[in-house]
Structure 1
Amino acid sequence: MFQEFRHIRLQEIADVNYLLTPEQSTTPIGLHSPAAAVMTDFETVTPVTVSQDQQVDEALEWMKSQHVRFLFAVNDNNQLTGVVTARDIMGRRVMSHMQTSGAAREDVLVKHIMVGKSQLQALTFEQLQHAKIGDVMLTLKGSGEQHVLIIDESLASVKRVRGIISASDISRKLKVGFEVMYEAKSFAEIERIITHGGGI
């Protein structure tokens, strides 16, 4: 069975003292770095989705299990219908829907509180290729948003979401301090921290 393979000589590691970390293998990231460096690319990472008909607290548990604070909502045909964040579920949106509809919390679904795709804006992958992180920060600092979507077109001219940039990823990669990063939830807050000290 192993005739086509060969033995590989194992090496001693007595003189090896260090572990490589991702930060060491890449150049430091700053506001002048390419914006693509902070994009989660769905060519290599599978986006986390939820049915728009999922109950909101179940969707929140799904987020926790996947270690994300953002989900793409899809319909029965697996087509994008909107997005929902942990902040949407834990904030006022659920209570507001319950008050206006008279529904109990267990009857509130993702589609009742999500931001529909008609309300979303995005950057194109081509725009991102020519942008710096600082450009993205400037563009989004007035929005109060925590995430921005990146779209492109397939070879068959089908538009799709190619990736996402999150404020938390930017703050982590810019090495904003942990306590500060925990508080910095939007692009605007990160920009304020970097401008007024306590950042990189």
Structure 2
Amino acid sequence: MPDSHFKPLLWTKLRRGVPCYLPKAAVGARVEAHSPALAVMTDFRRFAPVTIARDAALDEANRLMTLCNVHYLLVGDEQRQLLGIVTEASTKGHRPLATAHAMGIRPRELVVGNVMINKHDDAEVVHLKDLAEAKVGHVLATLKELGTSSFLVVEHDESDNHVLCGAFFLAQIERQMGGASQPDEVAHTFSQVVNTLGR
């Protein structure tokens, strides 16, 4: 039963004949290398990431990424534990074909678990506490050192388990910098992305 202290909000109906537009895709505020690192972090505490099961078909993963307009999915189990990450680069084109050939199965038999980046083997993480004083430049330097286009951010719960709380994506940082990132640094990073995602 509703609390009697709360009154309903004022409401109305959409007016006939008046357009109602869909919102534009949100883009973070313009940043520079000395801006706070958290300004370019995708915060999973505010926007829950899109997830998929390990045994889901690649077609399902591709449909979900298209529907949600994302280029990656987090892979989880029934207990909400992170198993890995699957990227668009590993579900389309020649890479799944090569994986299927190496496994001796048909491409349509592949599932997300066959092509995902395993959390223990390949997923790099940074602790949230280490980002308090960090700048965007530190994030770019980390991406360059790792030779990847993204890394995850974690914190600890009361049982000292890792809790995924965010991620950094090179493409998003570049958009927010408006092309202001250093060309040599970005080019060097991109030159290693294919090898990182193709494992």
TM-score, normalized by the shorter chain, greater than 0.5: yes
Could you say which residue in structure 2 is the equivalent of 1:18?
none
Q: Distance in 1 between matches of 2:79 and 2:6?
A: 46
Q: Distance in 2 between matches of 1:64 and 1:94?
A: 18
Name stretches of at least 5 consecutive residues in structure 1 with no aligned partner. Answer: 9-21, 178-183, 193-200
Secondary structure of 1:36's partner?
A: helix
Q: CA deviation at 1:154?
A: 2.1
Letter matched to residue 188 of structure 1: V
From the superposition, tell whether residues 132 and 91 of structure 1 become closer, same or farther in structure 2 (CA, over 3 Å).
farther
Could you say which residue in structure 1 is the equivalent of 2:59?
57
Q: Does 1:97 align with 2:103?
A: no
Counterpart pick for 1:77 among 76, 79, 82: 79
Q: CA deviation at 1:4?
A: 7.2
Give runs of aligned pairs for residues 46-195 of structure 1, distance below 5 A: 46-119=48-121, 120-176=123-179, 188-189=186-187
Normalising to structure 2: TM-score of the pair? 0.74
**What is the Cα-based RMSD across aligned positions, in Å?**
3.1
Q: CA deviation at 1:191?
A: 7.1
From the superposition, tell whether residues 3 and 63 of structure 1 become closer, same or farther in structure 2 (CA, over 3 Å).
closer
Q: CA deviation at 1:35?
A: 0.6
Contact 1:167 1:190 in 2 (8 A): no
Give runs of aligned pairs for residues 16-55 of structure 1, distance below 5 A: 28-55=30-57
Letter matched to residue 150 of structure 1: V
Contact 2:75 2:86 in 1 (8 A): yes
Q: Distance in 2 between matches of 1:5 and 1:55?
A: 48
Q: Deviations over 1:32-54 (max 9, x none)?
A: 10111101111111111011101
Q: Distance in 1 between matches of 2:63 and 2:8?
A: 47
Q: Distance in 2 between matches of 1:4 and 1:154?
A: 35
Q: Distance in 1 between matches of 2:92 and 2:117?
A: 14
Q: CA deviation at 1:7?
A: 11
Q: Distance in 1 between matches of 2:57 and 2:85?
A: 14
Q: Which moved more, 1:64-73 or 1:91-100?
A: 91-100
Contact 2:143 2:150 in 1 (8 A): no
Q: Distance in 1 between matches of 2:37 and 2:142?
A: 12
Secondary structure of 1:161's partner?
A: strand
Contact 1:49 1:73 in 2 (8 A): yes
Normalising to structure 1: TM-score of the pair? 0.73
